[in-house]
Structure 1
């Protein structure tokens, strides 16, 4: 690979390259299409899979086809009026309800962290420092994931050398890129120390007991408590989150990796954060994206059949 190809390749994420290759293969091999394609060919392709593939998947396939044509110097056939009309028709005939992660409630976060802290104290008393590492890691994962509103891929890419924590003051994370940072300008995220459920204290406790000074913040611990030098994969966070909550006695099947992010957004909105402040803190660039994470206020005051406190009861 020469220098030019190296930088061109670096400009596209590996996951994107893989999905684009798979999309082109699906168009050519599975469906039997020809490249370069025409707008009419794209319409027939969409019609063939409109009732079996999600609209989001079809859009991803079109993005791959568009990228292939433009990179090869051909006109983009995915932007023709017939293709746009076809996509609109698919939305009408096959409407899809927007899926949203179940927000992690603060009371569940507190219950899980309190359980982890009690297990950590017991591990210290018994001298079981391998178990202590797991409890400290899981507590840091929950508290940083919630209060910082990080996505699973962002949690997976946190590095110790790019993190600055000061007890009683705050913590700063640096990420070379995020989903919203398409140009890889890099982003810095600050979170203050809190009186309870503190992400700063949890982070310091974790890296201290783990003895790590560089590399990934969150790492795999095997069944014997051995700490890996490699970071957790983003796909590991859903089962890990559910395992932590289930162990703490919290039903967790409805939770996903976005539950901590949406849980924080819901908490912040309920506690008076304005949408612009929330967008700035979490890192959203688009108002529409931010609003998908925030539950609208549904207070009916004295007319409600039951109070929010009664509904929120365990």
Structure 2
């Protein structure tokens, strides 16, 4: 790979690049289309998959095919009026409510963390380092992901050298790039220390027991409890999150990598956060993005039921 190709590749998120490659391969290999494509072939491709693919999947396929044509110097057939009309017709004839990840409820978070803390205590008493590592990693993953509203890929890319944490005070987390950071300028997030379910304490306990001084924060543990050097694959986080929650006795089949983010957004709204404060905390640039994550029907209850918690725990008046 030459220098230009390396920088061009760095300009696109890994997940986006992989999904675009898969979409182009589906059009060309699975469906038998030819590239460069015509507007007519793109329209026929959409029609052939109208009943089996969601509208969001079809739009993602169009974006990938459009990007391929532009990058190769060809006119973009996905912008043709006929293609847009076919897509509109599919949306009309195959209406479907967009699927969303279930919001992780605060009670389920508390329940899972309580079980993991019990596992950690037992592992320490039994000098079982593999079990202790797993419990401490999983607590940190849940609490940082929830209170910071991180996506799965953001959790996977956290680096120790980009985090400053002080017990009882808070933590600062720098993300060099993220989905909402279109200019790749990097974003610094703050998280306060909490009386219960504290992400700062969980992080410090995890890196202490793991002996991590640099590199990825969240890493794979094999079946024997050996800690790897490489970061968790973001694509594996859904399965990992479900296993963590199931260990805590939480019904986890509806939860995905976005459940932590959506859970925090819904919790914050139910506890009086204004939309602007929520957007600033999570990093959303527009209200439409934020509102998609808020589950107005969810009832999280009062956080005062948590032992030792104040009713606001992390209220909108708290400095972030």
State which drifts further: 74-83 or 19-28. 19-28
Q: For residues 85 and 35 of structure 2, what CA distance do their matches in structure 1 show?
A: 22
Within 5 Å, give how 1:121-132 maps onto structure 2.
Answer: 121-132=121-132
* Structure 1 residues 74 and 250: CA distance shift in structure 2, 3 A: closer
| Number of the residue aligned with 1:200 | 200
Q: How far does the alpha carbon of each residue in 1:53-112 deviate from its partner, in whole angstroms, 9 at most, with x for none?
A: 222222222222222322333322211222211111000011121111111111111122
Displacement after TM superposition at 1:201 (Å):
0.5
Work out whether 1:87 is the aligned partner of 2:87: yes
> Contact conserved, 2:180 with 2:283, CA < 8 A, in 1?
yes
State which drifts further: 177-186 or 33-42. 33-42
State which drifts further: 52-61 or 183-192. 52-61
| Number of the residue aligned with 1:72 | 72
SS at match of 2:8: helix
Q: For residues 262 and 238 of structure 1, what CA distance do their matches in structure 2 show?
A: 14
Q: Which runs of 4+ in 1 moved over 6 A?
A: none
| Number of the residue aligned with 1:293 | 293
| Number of the residue aligned with 1:222 | 222
> Contact conserved, 2:266 with 2:298, CA < 8 A, in 1?
no
| Number of the residue aligned with 2:61 | 61
SS at match of 2:171: strand
Segments of 5+ residues of structure 2 without an aligned counterpart are: 306-320
SS at match of 2:165: strand
Q: For residues 37 and 258 of structure 2, what CA distance do their matches in structure 1 show?
A: 37
> Contact conserved, 2:151 with 2:261, CA < 8 A, in 1?
yes
How large is the Cα RMSD of the aligned pairs?
2.1
| Number of the residue aligned with 1:302 | none
Segments of 5+ residues of structure 1 without an aligned counterpart are: 300-307
* Structure 1 residues 71 and 224: CA distance shift in structure 2, 3 A: closer
Q: How far does the alpha carbon of each residue in 1:220-244 deviate from its partner, in whole angstroms, 9 at most, with x for none?
A: 1222221111111112222222222
* Structure 1 residues 26 and 112: CA distance shift in structure 2, 3 A: closer
| Number of the residue aligned with 1:274 | 274
The normalised TM-score by structure 2 is 0.87
Q: For residues 225 and 269 of structure 1, what CA distance do their matches in structure 2 show?
A: 39
Displacement after TM superposition at 1:22 (Å):
3.5
Q: How far does the alpha carbon of each residue in 1:97-141 deviate from its partner, in whole angstroms, 9 at most, with x for none?
A: 111111111111112212222222222222223321211111111
* Structure 1 residues 10 and 76: CA distance shift in structure 2, 3 A: same
* Structure 1 residues 247 and 290: CA distance shift in structure 2, 3 A: same
Displacement after TM superposition at 1:19 (Å):
3.3
State which drifts further: 103-112 or 33-42. 33-42
Q: For residues 19 and 241 of structure 2, what CA distance do their matches in structure 1 show?
A: 26
Q: For residues 34 and 166 of structure 1, what CA distance do their matches in structure 2 show?
A: 57
State which drifts further: 246-255 or 131-140. 246-255
Higher alpha-carbon Rg: 1
Within 5 Å, give how 1:245-264 maps onto structure 2.
Answer: 245-264=245-264
Displacement after TM superposition at 1:297 (Å):
6.0
Q: For residues 105 and 92 of structure 1, what CA distance do their matches in structure 2 show?
A: 34
Q: For residues 263 and 123 of structure 1, what CA distance do their matches in structure 2 show?
A: 29
* Structure 1 residues 51 and 200: CA distance shift in structure 2, 3 A: same
| Number of the residue aligned with 2:167 | 167
| Number of the residue aligned with 1:101 | 101
Q: For residues 57 and 65 of structure 2, what CA distance do their matches in structure 1 show?
A: 12
Q: For residues 28 and 13 of structure 2, what CA distance do their matches in structure 1 show?
A: 23
* Structure 1 residues 123 and 88: CA distance shift in structure 2, 3 A: same
Q: How far does the alpha carbon of each residue in 1:130-161 deviate from its partner, in whole angstroms, 9 at most, with x for none?
A: 32121111111111111111111111100111
* Structure 1 residues 69 and 267: CA distance shift in structure 2, 3 A: same
| Number of the residue aligned with 1:304 | none
Q: For residues 244 and 17 of structure 2, what CA distance do their matches in structure 1 show?
A: 33
Aligned residues: 302
| Number of the residue aligned with 2:311 | none
SS at match of 1:292: helix
Q: For residues 19 and 82 of structure 2, what CA distance do their matches in structure 1 show?
A: 25
The normalised TM-score by structure 1 is 0.89
